[in-house]
Structure 1
């Protein structure tokens, strides 16, 4: 079986993948795996091929984070090929080949934060504060409904998350992980326009 056929089936057969994860896998597979390995039989892919492929991507200017994601996908597909007894050793043997080393993102000062919050419509201001003081992801904030807020208890219940796909469609599903379903305490004052650091998080 060709790698293109086997890998396509692998992506389609993964249970419970979120739509954005499927989109990520399909993009990595089509853009970065198929051009090199697509026409090879799964059993023909060797460690030397993988090393050369990875070096070619990096030398060609593809970002190290994207290369790491593509390598992890290739390794996962080939792990399944080992389980299916199509190959014996997994040819993905590069130490730390799938490790991502993203640079630290810049952080706003408190002054900059309140300037930012003051420049947007007041109805969106809580989105800024919940990100900063409640550590809610964008998808979690976008999925919030009035019933998720308890201003008397000063808590926010995170029960869902939105995902925007490349075609512009938006899906709503559970948070990224089981631990993502949680209740976050946001403010001593009970006013989401001027919160402080969370008091505690209930899992």
Structure 2
């Protein structure tokens, strides 16, 4: 079972991935279906990763509708500032929280449906892995502009044109409450 370190927002858990090391190097397991109720009914459908240079900001992204998913995010190489934004139609709409994920601290985040996710690369480069509970659907892929919800980001270098043109928080419709698919 993973050790839950912190609850950032309701249902959004920061946990310590299982790790071991010896003279050969290290081993890290950021998810196991045997962990049971800690992650609800989390069943990974896709795995992907991105590699980004220092100062790159990716986000704030989420899938909506039938493609809404939970994700487990972890840093394979380097260090990032990971940020989540609550877009669920509840009292927490617009709340944001952050934590540092790195290859050395072996922390991971469970992001439930209805939260947007993004990160800023703090190290020279970073590789970030994602496990998601639904296949990516480009027609349901959306998000909120990174600088529209009052989060105090460190200096940002590169933002894609797509992310720079996402709607502002004030223009984004609250998302229905859903459970981990």
Could you say whether these structures have the same fold, taking a TM-score greater than 0.5 normalized by the shorter chain as the test?
no
Question: TM-score scaled by structure 2?
Answer: 0.23
More strand, by proportion: 2
Higher relative contact order (Cα pairs below 8 Å, separated by 6+ residues): 2
Question: TM-score scaled by structure 1?
Answer: 0.21
More helix, by proportion: 1
Which of these two proteins has the greater Rg computed from alpha carbons?
1
